[in-house]
Amino acid sequence: MATENKNLSTYDKASLPDVAGRTIGIITSQWNGQITENMRRGAYETLLDCGVHARDIIQWKVPGAFELVNGAKRMLEEGVDAVIVIGCVIQGETKHFDFVCQGVTQGIAYLNATQHVPVIFCLLTDNTLQQSIDRSGGKHGNKGIEAAITAIQMIELDRD
């Protein structure tokens, strides 16, 4: 695994662009809520730490991971500078996992290919609950933090 025994959630705030006054949306799936809430909190706190004002962070919840695409599409209509979608799908005994993961991935890829505003993909697709815990504030860091940093960096592309 690429992140085995590594915490990738550290960042150098001084090296990041100024994002004061920029609006960022966070859409969080309620499915596997313990995991997604940890990632949402990590993203939110990172955005604040990096200079985004609380009033400029729009937060929505959707029922499941599959609904993240529709939520992102609607959030883009709100005029945000970036959208972070946060979800967690854990492998089960059926093909449902494959269909949900593929649908969300293709939907977010489509939005990124057809829209000017970046949609940041923060969807855990793990085999076990423990893997998700490890990536939502555990030994592998918090993917929500990484998503927030990615959003900040992608916003800067618009300025360049």
Question: Could you list the active site residues?
Answer: 96
Q: What Å distances lie between residue 63 and 25, 71, 73, 141, CA to CA? A: 17, 10, 15, 25
**E strand or H helix that includes residue 22:** none
- Note whether 85 and 25 are within 8 A (CB): no
Cα-Cα-Cα-Cα dihedral sign, residues 85, 145, 52, 109: negative
